[in-house]
């Protein structure tokens, strides 16, 4: 098995991805839109964290009637970030994309589930947070990306979109994505906005926990830390990070509550039912468990959306099982790739070094 | 047992209710805010319809960590109506109300679950729909109501707030509310925005299905229809309403899909846990089943929020059971009162007579 062309969610036929990134003037946050084909994508969800911030997720339940949604929005901004979805819905409606509910051209309801992660205050201001305009901008990026031919936004990783303000146990984290083409021809992919209370590191070695599930080509040019650097990585990711070189500041550096959340979308071009998408999402949570520890606590909103663009064949039970297994692996891979792609950040609220910068001795 | 002072949700100590109503220029819709005390209210939810439009409901799950929310938003506008919650959250945050996540004054996250019903197009335009400003306006109404002493907005019924564009099987419906003071002293109340595909009428008599559960004082001055009027009421509420006198119009009168949803909040001042609120909400769905038929289909988003302001004692198991039973009854009562309070409406998209106007021979 090998990654798809871009090793990204956009390898799934029909999907587009756009990021809106806000850095500076108190901002360190953003929004990511996963845009379906105009006729929608089949979708399910698995919410496993104890503190979710979501919109329009109930319609993804197995007993809810809607089969297809038109976009999924991941955002920073905690509960405020759900506003980004409103911007996406309004702009899709203006383009006449959505569930048709009548003959009038305006009679469309775009269905835009979404979830948000906690990054409030990390840019220096608690009020510099995503709004509906963030969703509209990320949607515009997704649309422009396709028009441009070679994707610019769609394959981006690191400090972009919903991952802009994301951190994981003291390290800068962000957006990661990965894909795989199965022997039967189906593509399976994941996109993760990694913002975990848990650590992405093996506490014995400082290596990234998800490494065992990487495919060739997933992590080119990854530095190999020496023993002293490994020890430093392990120290950074302990709960008490005061040993690290934070700037002093009157602004809040981190909230009183542990406040995290890893947001994931797994996708395939196979023809799955809504219930199969839901199950795929549930199985894919295992990919989070393998790359982060702890996960799914009462203090995060860990969530996986599962989507199918249904451009390929209906899988038999064996092929379906493989799709779910590779979806979980793609999540682990996407989390590793998010950590590798993240860039160190310094704001009035604090400093968050990236794994790569620490591992290669640059910080 | 008797109703509380206002026979309304605001009889539950600590709760405020505000409506924003938009009628004309294509609008026939609105938003209702149920505002908690500043320290929040314990909340749970039960989603039983197959087509829900919701925001921030996952955090109400028994395994999610948040115990208290700061407001609940009910709105017209289908999925677009979820935007109203963003306006409420932003304005609560500006007032520093919300979950405190750090020492900085702005470090608050208001938790504002909500749900929306389908009324798109009924005012004559599919694009005249609630936005964040609707939520802000309804919140302002809830706050102003308390400052005014005697509630104006809080006890309103009929074509107001989220019920402005609501209909039920061809009859105009809207907001209804009811309360009861239990022998032990606890108050239990419900507020419903009735927008059902199902009929609120006994198909044999044309009477309102929920009448058996009314308390004295619930339905003053209700007309008693004669046999011909009963037959007319039954005809109006059959699925085919073409026999009724609709205006002709090039605008869409009703969508292709059956599109409905009854939104309910049940509340008590007793001290309940989140799980008890969830169970109260689930039991209260039975009040919907008794007053509407069918309910909880794949084509509606029927939902009940259960909240407790926890100003009273912790109930023993017997008292808790009574709270849940009376919550269900309050829902039936609120639905009947919504139908009785609704006013007949005529828009470019159609005409919806009220039960009361038909029953008293005015239409």
Per-residue pLDDT of chain A in tens (363 residues, 90 and over written 9):
899 999 999 999 999 999 999 999 999 999 999 999 999 999 999 998 888 999 999 999 988 989 999 999 999 999 999 999 999 999 999 999 999 999 999 999 999 999 999 999 999 999 999 999 999 999 999 999 866 567 777 899 999 999 999 999 889 999 999 999 999 999 999 999 999 988 899 888 999 999 989 999 999 999 999 999 999 998 887 543 322 233 334 343 444 445 689 999 999 999 999 999 999 999 999 999 889 988 887 777 899 999 999 999 999 988 998 999 999 999 999 999 999 999 999 999 999 999 999 999 887
DSSP state of A78: G
Q: Mark yes or no for CB contact B52/A63 under 8 Å.
A: no
CA distance A214 to chain B (A): 32
Write down the pLDDT at residue A145: 82
The set of residues, in sequence order, having a beta carbon less than 8 Å from that of B148 and lying 6+ positions away, is none
Question: If you measure CA to CA, which chain A residue comes closest to B107?
Answer: A126
For residue A303, the chain B residues in CB contact (below 8 A) are 58
Spell out which residues of chain B touch residue A257, defining contact as CB-CB under 8 Å: 99, 101
Residue B86 Cα, gap to closest chain A Cα (Å): 6
The contacts of residue A190 (CB under 8 Å, 6+ apart) are A9, A177, A178, A179, A264, A265, A266, A267, A284, A287, A327, A330, A331, A333, A334
A216: closest CA of chain B, how far (Å)? 38
B255 with A101: Cβ contact below 8 A: yes
Is the pLDDT at B298 greater than 90? The verdict is no
The pLDDT of residue A51: 86
How many CB atoms sit inside 10 A of residue B216's CB? 9
Cα four-point dihedral sign B229, B235, B238, B239: negative
pTM for this one?
0.85
pLDDT at A318: 87
Structure confidence by residue, pLDDT tens digits, B92-127: 999 999 999 999 999 999 999 999 999 999 999 999
Q: Are B33 and B191 in contact (CB under 8 A)?
A: no
Q: Which of A299-303, A340-344, B2-6, B205-209 has the lowest mean pLDDT?
A: A299-303
Distance from CA of B2 to the nearest CA of A (A): 36
Chain B residues lying within 8 Å of A104, measured CB to CB: 121, 126, 251-252
Selected residue with higher pLDDT from A42 and B247? A42
- Count other Cβ atoms within 10 Å, centred on residue B197: 22
Q: Which residue of A has its CA nearest to B115?
A: A56
Note whether B47 contacts A57, CB cutoff 8 Å.
no
A74: closest CA of chain B, how far (Å): 14
In B, minimum Cα distance to A259 occurs at: B101
Q: Which residues contact B97 (CB under 8 A, 6 or more apart)?
A: B38, B70, B108, B110
Measured distance CA(A127)–CA(A125) in Å, rounded: 5
- Chain A residue nearest residue B93, CA to CA: A127
| Contact criterion met (CB < 8 Å) for B86 and A83 | yes
Best B89, B104, B256 member to test A by mutation, with max A CBs in 10 Å, is B104
The confidence score (pLDDT) of residue A141 equals: 95
How far away is chain A from the Cα of B334, in angstroms, using its nearest Cα?
Answer: 25
Q: Does the beta-carbon distance from B256 to A103 stay under 8 Å?
A: yes
Determine whether the interchain pair B102/A299 forms a contact, defined as Cβ–Cβ distance below 8 Å: no
Q: What pLDDT was estimated at residue A143?
A: 93
Report the residue of A50, A54, A58 to disrupt the B interface, i.e. the one with the largest count of B CBs within 10 Å.
A58
Are the C-beta atoms of residues A173 and A167 closer than 8 Å to each other? yes
State whether B107 and A64 contact (CB < 8 Å). no
User: Could you report the predicted ipTM of this complex, rounded to two decimals?
Assistant: 0.75
In whole angstroms, what is the distance from residue A345 CA to residue A246 CA? 11
Select from B58, B255, B303 the Cβ nearest to the Cβ of A102: B255
For residue A78, which residues of chain B lie inside 8 Å, CB to CB?
101, 109
Measured between alpha carbons, how far is A304 from A282 in angstroms, rounded to an integer? 7
B225 vs B198, residue with greater confidence: B225
Between chains, do B102 and A126 touch, taking CB under 8 Å as contact?
yes
- pLDDT of the residue at A148: 58
Q: Which of B13-27, B195-209, B290-304, B313-327 has the lowest mean pLDDT?
A: B290-304
Q: Taking a C-beta distance cutoff of 8 angstroms, is the pair B33, B139 a contact?
A: yes
The closest of A326, A256, A335 to A302, measured between CA atoms, is A335
Strands in chain A per DSSP E? 16-24, 27-35, 41-47, 54-55, 68-69, 71-75, 99-100, 108-109, 114-116, 167-168, 171-172, 175-181, 187-193, 263-268, 303-308, 345-347, 350-352
Q: With contact defined as beta carbons under 8 Å apart, do A88 and A110 qualify?
A: yes
A213 dihedral zone (left: phi>0; alpha: psi -120 to 50; beta): alpha
Summarised one tens digit per residue, pLDDT across range B211-240 is 989 999 999 989 999 999 999 998 887 543
**How near does any CA of chain B get to the CA of A276, in Å?**
17
Tell me the average pLDDT across B138-155: 82
B126 contacts A104? CB cut-off 8 A: yes
Q: What is the number of CB-based contacts under 8 A between chain A and chain B?
A: 176
Q: Does B251 have pLDDT greater than 70?
A: no
Q: Is A79's CB within 8 Å of B111's CB?
A: yes
Q: Does the bond joining A294 to the residue before it have cis omega, within 30 degrees of 0?
A: yes
* Chain-chain contact of A120 with B101 (C-beta, under 8 angstroms): yes
Q: Kindly determine whether residue A52 and residue B59, on different chains, have CB atoms separated by under 8 Å.
A: yes
**Which DSSP symbol is given to B76?**
S
Beta strand A263-268 with A303-308 is parallel
Residue with tokens 């962000």: A174
Query: pLDDT tens-digit profile of B316-363?
Result: 988 998 999 999 999 999 999 999 999 999 999 999 999 999 999 887
Q: Give kind and range of the element (H or E) at residue A94.
A: helix A83-94
Concatenate the DSSP letters of all residues of B287-334 into one string: HHHHHSBS-S-TT---EEEEEE---SPPPPHHHHHHHHHHHHHHHHHH
Q: How far apart are CA A62 and CA A283, in angstroms?
A: 16
**pLDDT tier, B200 (very low <50, low <70, confident <90, very high otherwise):** very high
Omega of the bond leading into B294 within 30 degrees of 0 (cis): yes
Quick: pLDDT tens for B50-76: 889 999 999 999 889 899 999 999 999
């Amino acid at each position: 098995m090998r990654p798809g062309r871009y090793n990204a969610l956009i390898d799934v036929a029909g999907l587009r991805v756009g990021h809106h990134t806000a850095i500076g003037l108190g901002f360190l946050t953003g929004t990511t839109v996963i845009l379906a084909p105009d006729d929608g994508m089949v979708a399910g969800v698995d919410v496993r964290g104890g503190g979710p911030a979501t919109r329009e997720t109930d319609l993804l339940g197995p007993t809810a009637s809607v089969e297809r949604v038109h976009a999924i929005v991941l955002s920073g901004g905690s509960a405020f970030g759900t506003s980004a979805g409103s911007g996406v819905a309004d702009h899709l409606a203006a383009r006449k994309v959505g569930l048709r509910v009548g003959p009038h051209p305006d009679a469309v309801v775009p269905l835009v589930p979404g979830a948000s992660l906690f990054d409030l205050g990390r840019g220096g201001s608690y009020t510099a947070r995503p709004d509906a305009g963030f969703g509209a901008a990320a949607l515009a990026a997704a649309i422009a990306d396709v028009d441009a031919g070679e994707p610019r936004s769609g394959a981006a990783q690191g400090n972009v979109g919903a991952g802009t303000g994301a951190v994981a146990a003291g390290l800068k984290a962000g957006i990661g994505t990965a894909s795989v083409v199965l022997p039967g021809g189906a593509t399976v992919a994941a996109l993760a906005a990694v913002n975990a209370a848990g650590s992405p590191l093996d506490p014995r070695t400082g290596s990234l926990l998800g490494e065992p599930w990487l495919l060739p080509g997933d992590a080119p040019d990854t530095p190999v830390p020496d023993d002293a650097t490994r020890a430093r990585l392990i120290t950074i990711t302990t709960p008490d990070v005061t040993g690290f070189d934070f700037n002093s500041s009157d602004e809040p550096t981190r909230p009183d509550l542990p406040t995290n959340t890893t947001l994931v979308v797994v996708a395939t071009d196979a023809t799955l039912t809504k219930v199969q998408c839901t199950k795929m999402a549930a199985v894919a949570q295992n990919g989070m468990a393998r790359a982060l520890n702890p996960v799914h606590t009462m203090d995060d909103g860990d969530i996986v959306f599962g989507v199918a663009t249904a451009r390929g064949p209906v899988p038999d039970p064996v092929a379906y099982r493989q799709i779910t297994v590779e979806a979980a692996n793609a999540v682990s891979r996407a989390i590793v790739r998010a950590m590798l792609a993240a860039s160190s950040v310094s704001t009035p609220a604090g400093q968050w070094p990236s794994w790569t910068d620490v591992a290669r001795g640059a910080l």
